[in-house]
Structure 1
Amino acid sequence: MSQRPNLSELNQYHLGIWYSAYRFIISFCLLMVFFVTYSQLNDQYQYPKLYLYVLTSYVVISSLQFFILNKIKAAIPKQMVLIFFADVLALSLLTFALDGPNLHLSLLFVITIFAASILLNAQKALIITLVAVIIVIYQLFVGSILDFASLRNIGNSAVLAFLFFVVYGCGQIAVRRFQILENLNFSQSLELNQLQNINRYILEQIDTGYLVLDENCHVVLSNPAACHLLGITASYSAEKFPLYMSQPDLFELLNFEDLRDGEKFQFESQQSLYHIHVHVKKLIVPHQMLTLLILQDAQKLNQHVQQLKLAALGQLSASIAHEIRNPLAAIVQANELQNGSDPAQQQMLSKMIAKQAKRIDGIVQDTLNMVKNRETHAVELSLNRFIPLLIQEDLSDIKKMIQLNIQSSCHIYFDEAQLRQVLINLIRNAIRHNDPDAGYIELNIYPHEKNMRIDVRDFGQGVAVQHRASLFQPFFSTEITGTGLGLYLAHSFCEANQAQLTYVEQQRGACFRLICQRAAV
């Protein structure tokens, strides 16, 4: 029972088939050329009968070897060795019949040596090369002994023998390069296969459905979750298929050419038991136009959203209760102390009650501002006019403590009321935390690349490192009288206007930077 050939032998076999076909065509053409040109070029053949017999035998042997190699895929290396030995022997006899090497036969010799270097291992290829060298050089000595030829072609034979070694070396270098490339290609194929298996495993495990469509609205990739949601049989998950055949309801709903990146919609199908939420994403792939449909169970998605809302509401309620508890406790204690107190103490306690009540009112107002769902309407604002007017109208009591540095032609896109609230909060915070000896804070407004920056900087103690991660969280404050909602609201308003509010570390003081979209003038 013959062993199954490995991958290397199969590659050798396919290349050997091509080489066997080549040598049969070459030998047959040489035979035809001999018959056609013999009457005109008979003087160039030293031994024409030998030349004819060798060519005829070469045609028969090459055809037989081609047939055997094509039908029998066993012992491929041995078959290749016999093929090259037949080539070297036939070409050597043809050279002898011509009384020395010529250009055409030398070229065929070189091709044979190079092919042997590629199709055989280094040791066998070297043996073929040495046999060719020995035959080419010593056939002239044999001819001289038998008085068949002279030694006038010994120089050409020596050059041809040297050329055989050069071609053998070049062939071995080429083989090593091919092996390196083959090993690299094999390792990359393994890595790619591993990545594909990992991706396939991930897609099979997640509950979200993924459906990738090409420009013809054919599904090129789908995962089991998508098939389950759409009511598609599992066999479709591993092959390309037209969407209109598997899910006609979704196909009729899709206006494929008008789908926009980020578009969302919901649909129901008779094939599916689910109400499906679809999110469209355009994929940027070279030489392809692909569309990704992210499919989710709308009922589960709504339940998840409600759970998040309830969790946020619970956290907000707990935070409000915690913040109100302290001033409320102070009010209750002050009210109890009023009984039996003298008028001066009662007046002091009344002021304390009023102060704590005002603090509770501030917490309630800030909470209401935080939970308001007012729409954001970004408009083009000229900061050169807006900022001085803001300082004059809303910050008149501290305008002498604000040093404004603004460049000309500063235009941004922002909701006017929300920007006003953000800047008032940041500026009053900076005044409150500023060093009294500094006397002022800085409000620096300047363009940076495609954005506009608004820096509010004070010269106080700055924000401690352990507090920076909590700066924009609700109800976080380092002051006893603070509600901890000012920076959170400012950060939320900036996000609603596609802007960023960040803390910038300074050697002295604190700097809050507002980065917003710059409007073209």
Structure 2
Amino acid sequence: MGDSVLSGVDPARLQSLRFFNLFRLIIAGIFLVAGRELNLGSEHPTIFLVTAICYLGAVLALGFPDAARRMGFDRLVTLQVVIDVFMLTAFMWSSGGFRSGMPVLMMIVLAGAGLVAEGRMVLFLAALTTLAVLTENGWRFIADGTPGDFLQVGITCIAFFGIALVARLLALRAKNNASLAERRGKELVKQQAVNERIIRDMRDGVIVLGPDGFVRQANPQAAGLLGLQSMDGLALADIDSAFGDCRAQCGGADGRLMRLGPARRLLRCRVMEADSEAATGGDVLIYLTDFEDIQRQMQQLKLAALGRLTASMAHEIRNPLSAVTQAAELLQEEKRADMQGRLARIINDNAQRIERMIRDVLALGRRQQAQPEALPLARFVTEVVDAQGLRDGAERAIFSVEIDPELTLAIDRAHLHQILDNLLGNARRYCSAQPGSVRIRADVGADGCVRLHVQDDGPGLDKNTRAHLFEPFFTTHAKGTGLGLYIARELADANDATLEPVSDSTGAHFVLTGRSCP
């Protein structure tokens, strides 16, 4: 029961009360042992001695922790300060009044009360002390007929309230700061636990490398990817010699693919310098990503996409094949020459449609055989435009080529030819057919990459079309296969390039971005 009484008390208040009781014990001992030598109790020696004995007994009786358990912490504090006030007033009366120095001790007692007591109790104790001092000084004036030091006493009584309030405010501030520190400490512990859990469970390996080349910390994934049980305290160069120059080789956001550790797994290694070397002591973070796992996932996605493509292609081929079969049957029965010619055209058109789908799918299968070379962009684009068979002046004027003759692009020649065939064919189909209605231009971005633009002045791409633009077999043209843009993007990706639509006010605008060649 007693322990439960003190369980809700602030530990700082308990500690302050212990020091306060120690101060009381020292003062009571000095009064009892050396009071006469300090010229105390000169007017009433017997009363001073009895008061000193009673004060020492009260301090001893109320100074043990058992007293707080029996009486309650706040009641004990109030009782102790009240006893201090009355005892010090008795010392002051028996020692000559205000000039004995007891008001200074009363100030110290009120300061201690401000640190230990709570609420308005501090003001009550200050008022009680003021009343006791004023009463003693008034009694001395009435009994002895000597003028009292009322001005100094009044100033001292004002100081009682000031010291009590300042001490209380300081105690509240210290309590709030301690509470804030404790709360932030708990939050920091929780955040550290969350961070450790994240680092421990993340799929990537994380290594903290000290400036001396030794591993300070590493999560279990890093050790597992390198084929080790633990990495703590090991020198990184001893794990694998390829780590020796990792800062120079693996810097940047992309890092470098390397086979590392006893397991010889293909890992993407990225090195990140600490944001503040003063805060981290020059440590370096090394991230390891299992690239073999990424390759397996990519292969599974490609196989799934190939399955969907095959199913969609079978469905798309069935329609023209049915038309070819039906036209062939009618051709056998039809005797009129004009109807035979019409049926032959149906057979020819659908056969060409099937041939285009098969050609596109075969091109998709050859995307892994990309052989990039430095292509002079202006000359190559002009050849592709001319190869469209648009030799007529009016038709040729539709295309405007604005490319610096010095620009080169690192890409497979056949792949770029097929990408441009598709983009130019679409632009020609939807443009206004006015001179310069299809613009082909190129520029160099801030990152040094070459961007090839193909833009027409047609109706452009609506929101729904843009959302499905690169999906297989999606087309807005009656005779289209829906594989052109899908194949074009796949071929661009095979050459480490990107093909993206650009949102412009009018017309369709596509940008092919790739690496430049010196």
**What TM-score, normalized to structure 1?**
0.68
Is the alpha carbon distance of 1:158 and 1:516 closer, same or farther for their aligned partners in structure 2, counting shifts above 3 Å? farther
Query: 2:323 aligns to what?
Result: 330
Which one of 343, 358, 379 corresponds to residue 389 of structure 1? 379
Query: 1:482 aligns to what?
Result: 480
Q: How does 1:193-212 map to 2 (within 5 A)?
A: none
Q: Structure 1 counterpart of 2:359, which letter?
A: Q
Cα distance in structure 1, aligned partners of 2:118 and 2:495 = 70
Is the alpha carbon distance of 1:518 and 1:414 closer, same or farther for their aligned partners in structure 2, counting shifts above 3 Å? closer
Cα distance in structure 1, aligned partners of 2:79 and 2:243 = 62
Is the alpha carbon distance of 1:323 and 1:400 closer, same or farther for their aligned partners in structure 2, counting shifts above 3 Å? same
Is the alpha carbon distance of 1:470 and 1:183 closer, same or farther for their aligned partners in structure 2, counting shifts above 3 Å? farther
Is the alpha carbon distance of 1:392 and 1:214 closer, same or farther for their aligned partners in structure 2, counting shifts above 3 Å? closer
Which one of 356, 369, 372 corresponds to residue 350 of structure 2? 356
Cα distance, 1:363 vs structure 2 = 2.1
Asked if residue 132 in structure 1 is aligned to residue 125 in structure 2, the reply is no
Contact residue 61 and residue 67 of structure 2 kept, 8 A: no
Which one of 155, 160, 171 corresponds to residue 159 of structure 1? 155
Cα distance, 1:197 vs structure 2 = 7.6
Can you give the 5+ residue segments of structure 1 that lack an aligned partner in the other structure? 233-240, 270-274
Which one of 309, 313, 321 corresponds to residue 316 of structure 1? 309
Cα distance, 1:443 vs structure 2 = 3.8
SS at match of 2:454: strand
Query: 1:442 aligns to what?
Result: 439
Is the alpha carbon distance of 1:171 and 1:209 closer, same or farther for their aligned partners in structure 2, counting shifts above 3 Å? same
Contact residue 435 and residue 461 of structure 1 kept, 8 A: no
Cα distance in structure 2, aligned partners of 1:82 and 1:67 = 11
Q: Structure 2 counterpart of 1:374, which letter?
A: Q
Is the alpha carbon distance of 1:47 and 1:420 closer, same or farther for their aligned partners in structure 2, counting shifts above 3 Å? farther
Cα distance in structure 1, aligned partners of 2:100 and 2:440 = 92
Asked if residue 373 in structure 1 is aligned to residue 368 in structure 2, the reply is yes
Is the alpha carbon distance of 1:392 and 1:185 closer, same or farther for their aligned partners in structure 2, counting shifts above 3 Å? same
Per-residue CA distance 1:412-456 (angstroms, 9 max, x = gap) = 875364566545533432222213357512345456655765543
Contact residue 441 and residue 458 of structure 1 kept, 8 A: yes
Is the alpha carbon distance of 1:89 and 1:473 closer, same or farther for their aligned partners in structure 2, counting shifts above 3 Å? farther
Is the alpha carbon distance of 1:352 and 1:47 closer, same or farther for their aligned partners in structure 2, counting shifts above 3 Å? farther
Cα distance, 1:471 vs structure 2 = 1.0
Is the alpha carbon distance of 1:480 and 1:184 closer, same or farther for their aligned partners in structure 2, counting shifts above 3 Å? farther
Is the alpha carbon distance of 1:151 and 1:67 closer, same or farther for their aligned partners in structure 2, counting shifts above 3 Å? closer
Q: Structure 1 counterpart of 2:13, which letter?
A: Q
Cα distance, 1:337 vs structure 2 = 3.2
Cα distance, 1:122 vs structure 2 = 0.3
Which one of 461, 469, 472 corresponds to residue 471 of structure 1? 469
Is the alpha carbon distance of 1:167 and 1:181 closer, same or farther for their aligned partners in structure 2, counting shifts above 3 Å? same
SS at match of 2:3: coil
Query: Between Structure 1 and Structure 2, how many residues are aligned?
Result: 486
Q: Structure 2 counterpart of 1:128, which letter?
A: L
Amino-acid identity (%): 22
Q: Structure 2 counterpart of 1:134, which letter?
A: L
Is the alpha carbon distance of 1:138 and 1:338 closer, same or farther for their aligned partners in structure 2, counting shifts above 3 Å? same
In terms of Rg, which structure is larger? 2
Q: Structure 2 counterpart of 1:316, which letter?
A: L
Contact residue 208 and residue 286 of structure 2 kept, 8 A: yes
Is the alpha carbon distance of 1:446 and 1:189 closer, same or farther for their aligned partners in structure 2, counting shifts above 3 Å? same
Q: Structure 2 counterpart of 1:161, which letter?
A: C
Q: Structure 2 counterpart of 1:156, which letter?
A: Q
Q: How does 1:108-123 map to 2 (within 5 A)?
A: 112-123=109-120
Cα distance in structure 1, aligned partners of 2:469 and 2:271 = 36
Query: 1:236 aligns to what?
Result: none
